[in-house]
Amino acid sequence: MYTKIASSFLLASTAVHAHMHLNYPATFNASNNPHTTGPSDPFLDYPYGCCGRTTPMPCRGYLDLIELPEGAPVATWAAGSQQNFNITGIGNHYGGSCQVGFSVDKGATFQVATSYEGNCPHRNAGDGPDGQNFNFTIPADIPTGNVIFAWTWINREQEFNMNCAAVTITEEGAPEQPVSSAIAATSTQAATSSTAAAAQPTSSSATYTLEGCTCTCTDSDCTCKCPKPNVARSLVQHKALLQHLEHLKLRDSASVSESQIKRAADSVAYSSRPQMLLADIDNGCESVKTTHELKYPNPGPDVVQGDGEYPLAMPTPANKCGY
């Protein structure tokens, strides 16, 4: 699928543009990537083809780094383990849909790990990285070694973005060691925030860590403790309450347990997982604009449902979108 698409394309500039990128694991040529040696890419936030610029596919043209020191892995993950990624930027566009996946053949193909249908980025959690953390499971039978991790995002403005990072996959159950102290700090912060952001409370109350504050929430209020002025702390309390209410809604609507979902995902061989969707890149496949968030035609076995604020719709036409 990926090798059949032209190596680059040009889209007309639009009035509003996506402004988020993969923060952890650090994407190729990002300012927070410890292996970046020259000027970092200032356009990682921008959708493909934005602003009259040609954007190479896939991974913004950085696959040529994977055999070089600049493309060294930035994280080590065990097959079958629970991990997280986070995103950041200057505009979350009030959500969208995302996929994460892997390439084990140096970017020739990208197969889905998890699909997030709606509310990705988290629409009420700001521009990250705090609050923009997402959990996922590494496929249990993914080949070990150095691979490419990919994140894609399609928003309601029919804009597509894709960032990629080099990671090392170890055997299931192997200890995970970050590549550098800088990455270790990022990973620890992301994991802490992700645990809070993805918590599934068993009662109507729960505790969250958000923007450096510790917030205790009920179904009607949050109290946050942190060294922030009253106005800033009140804003954090509001964000925490919105996040908590969203988690309660997801908990109440869940019909299967996380362990059941993991077993179902593990039952699908990595080699049988679908390709990550490419849409809104002048390839004939388009998402519905403005009124809907994207429903993936081939989401794979691990799907995270959004908050339901927008209805979901498949991209069209089917023959151009892989279904």
Q: Domain limits of the chain? A: 8-198+256-320, 201-253
How far is 200 from 121, CA to CA, in rounded Å? 18
pLDDT of amino acid 124:
93
pLDDT of amino acid 229:
83
Q: What is the CATH number of domain 8-198+256-320?
A: 2.70.50.70
Amino acid at 21: H
> Which tens digit of pLDDT belongs to each residue from 48-86?
888 777 888 999 999 999 999 999 999 999 999 999 999
Mean pLDDT by 10 residues, the chain (323 residues): 40 50 98 96 89 86 96 97 94 94 98 98 92 95 98 96 98 63 39 38 68 83 86 77 74 56 75 96 95 97 95 97 93
How far is 81 from 88, CA to CA, in rounded Å? 24
Q: Is residue 169 within 8 Å of residue 79, measured between CB atoms?
A: yes
pLDDT of amino acid 62:
97
pLDDT of amino acid 206:
81
Report how far apart, in Å, the C-alpha atoms of 229 and of each of 79, 224, 226, 272 are. 43, 12, 9, 52
Residues of 243-258 as b/e, b for ≥16 C-beta within 10 angstroms?
bbbbbbebeeeeeeee
Q: Which among 147, 127, 125 is positioned nearest to 138, based on CA atoms?
A: 147
pLDDT of amino acid 303:
95
